[in-house]
Structure 1
């Protein structure tokens, strides 16, 4: 679509939404001029490993990942894996399905809605977006249902038709092992989503 000025990942949009207002300009600038390389993607190995854990049914892959992690990432990886084990142990039954991915567009903005995991959790299908970045000592970036509601709404809007019947949208706060499932969004969530997109694009045009 030629009219689209900005195409961003869902993770980048989550980062923007929960960034304090005083830091949003810097955040959009970082997003706009960021050039992806695997070496800059801090969590890429763990993201890919978690997909393999479920699609291949082998949780021991997490231990292998830790043994091979770079020294400058090993502590954060260990903490994230510890949180993930906490989530995993709280589930009696878990089966894999391939998660759909699709761009969601609004005006001149595009967001790549790309949940990493499709999981039947105790028989109920869930689309799960992984979130690794929370510093548990900082209230500024803590995820909670109010902040995740817009993301759940966006996932629902973009992907509902490609999901198994009854799929629940969720964000997994990996470090805490906490699966956050927002209530289905309504008009207020839609208004908040539009406002966030317009705020993002206003800054994008200025930087």
Structure 2
């Protein structure tokens, strides 16, 4: 059983036609490629944000950005500025360790790993960071919340789940799924499983 990234599955759900097959092939190749931290640019900024919230020590963002690949510095600077802007709008925040678990289908697993555990206005909220340039669609945000609820909700009663579109300055807090969205998750998971099974047989 292969691992499919959280965001790649959201991409798959939102696509139609051949782009779905392209994403399935990408997920297959990614699962068979050794992890290289040198190319995982988003992880660096995620970890800096996590450390910030856990320790309450404001990072030296200028030094962090300066230490990155020059081609990535503009993007990192934009991400940092937008996160800091959102952070200033929030009231007092407390940290808790966010829950993590796997969500499984027949051919793949998704690591459901919200990076931030923040008490926002008295409410424990586990937050997945979305750092892509393209705005998070309503469908992706709802599906992200449903995945987190299914994987983590049973053992974490009283915790809200959310995905934070940093570039759009938008925190999407999950408030429940419609029956149709629940069916869509089942269908899209089966669709991706069927594609991965076919790729496995021809690879």
Q: Which TM-score band applies after superposition, normalised by the shorter structure? A: 0.7 to 0.9
TM-score, normalization: structure 1? 0.86
Determine the C-alpha separation between the residues in 1 that align with 2:154 and 2:181.
Answer: 20
Match of 1:139 in 2: none
Runs of 4 or more consecutive aligned structure 1 residues displaced over 6 Å after TM superposition: none
Is 61-70 or 87-96 further displaced after alignment? 61-70
Determine the C-alpha separation between the residues in 2 that align with 1:61 and 1:97.
Answer: 23
Say how many residue pairs are matched.
Answer: 196
Determine the C-alpha separation between the residues in 1 that align with 2:114 and 2:108.
Answer: 19
Determine the C-alpha separation between the residues in 2 that align with 1:93 and 1:121.
Answer: 7
Q: 2:149 aligns with which of 156, 161, 164?
A: 156
Determine whether 1:80 maps to 2:72. no
Aligned counterparts, 1:24-173, within 5 A? 24-34=20-30, 35=33, 36-135=35-134, 142-163=135-156, 165-173=157-165
Aligned counterparts, 1:4-15, within 5 A? 5-15=1-11
Question: Are the structure 2 counterparts of residues 191 and 26 from structure 1 closer, same or farther at C-alpha, using a change threshold of 3 Å?
Answer: same
Please list every run of 5 or more consecutive structure 1 residues that lacks an aligned counterpart in the other structure. Answer: 136-141
Is 106-115 or 42-51 further displaced after alignment? 106-115
CA RMSD of aligned residues (A): 1.8
Match of 1:138 in 2: none
Question: Are the structure 2 counterparts of residues 16 and 146 from structure 1 closer, same or farther at C-alpha, using a change threshold of 3 Å?
Answer: closer
Q: 2:182 aligns with which of 170, 176, 190?
A: 190
Q: Secondary structure of the residue that 1:176 maps to in structure 2? A: coil
Is 120-129 or 183-192 further displaced after alignment? 183-192
On the 8 A contact 1:85/1:177 being kept in 2, the answer is no
Is 96-105 or 36-45 further displaced after alignment? 36-45
Can you list the C-alpha shifts for 1:161-191, whole angstroms capped at 9, x where unaligned?
A: 343x422111111112211113211422210
On the 8 A contact 1:127/1:167 being kept in 2, the answer is yes
Determine whether 1:22 maps to 2:18. yes
TM-score, normalization: structure 2? 0.88
Determine the C-alpha separation between the residues in 2 that align with 1:63 and 1:92.
Answer: 25
Q: Secondary structure of the residue that 1:195 maps to in structure 2? A: helix
Please list every run of 5 or more consecutive structure 2 residues that lacks an aligned counterpart in the other structure. Answer: none
Question: Are the structure 2 counterparts of residues 58 and 17 from structure 1 closer, same or farther at C-alpha, using a change threshold of 3 Å?
Answer: farther
